[in-house]
Amino acid sequence: MGYPDNVLAGDERVVLHRHPHWKRLIGPALVLLIVTALASFGAAVVQNSDWDGTVKRVVLLVLAALWLIIVGWLTVWPFLNWWTTHFVITDRRVMFRHGLLTRSGIDIPLARINSVEFRHGLLDRMLRTGTLIIESASQDPLEFHDIPRVEQVHSLLYHEVFDTLGSEESPS
């Protein structure tokens, strides 16, 4: 899903658009598998019981409703939050947008960025993700967690900042 062009200025171009790393979806995927297995087991037990047909249907409907609520809350909702979280670098600014029902975001003009850092531990290094830390003028450093290929993003952002500033320190 590309970032909507209607939030960009007329001649502004997207340099990078990322969602958070897929590792954020591991927990919800495991929940889906476990809850589905438990619901299937419960349904099989109910089907093989010698209960009245109406009681079986009611218990199966309750199981299905519980499955739907748990999967919606612990699987679908986190996926939709992941899908609607955007980390975007343009040739003018860094944008971060997140939220499904209530959206929020921040824009950092490239000219206001003082430093760019990244941090990742052993697991993050194996998964090629990490935390990007951006320090801008007159603000506390902002941390963006689970940025895929954080080292490449760090390097790209560094080059964009110096290209924007037109500094003689600008890398070629």
With beta carbons less than 8 A apart as the criterion, state whether 19 and 129 touch.
no
Residue 75 CB partners (closer than 8 Å, separation 6+): 28, 29, 31, 32, 35
Whether 47 maps to a domain, the answer reads: yes
pLDDT of 84 strictly over 80: yes
Count the domains in the chain.
Answer: 2
Q: Give percent of the chain above pLDDT 70.
A: 92
Q: Measure the CA–CA gap between 9 and 12, rounded to whole angstroms.
A: 5
Whether 3 maps to a domain, the answer reads: no
Nearest to 147 by CA among 89, 105, 93: 89
pLDDT of 169 strictly over 90: no
Provide the CATH number for the domain around residue 140: 2.30.29.30
Whether 2 maps to a domain, the answer reads: no
Please compute Rg for the chain using Cα positions. Answer: 23
Whether 40 maps to a domain, the answer reads: yes
At 168, the pLDDT band (50, 70, 90 cuts) reads very low
Please tell me the pTM assigned to this model: 0.82
The whole-number average pLDDT for the span 158-172 is: 67
pLDDT of 3 strictly over 70: no
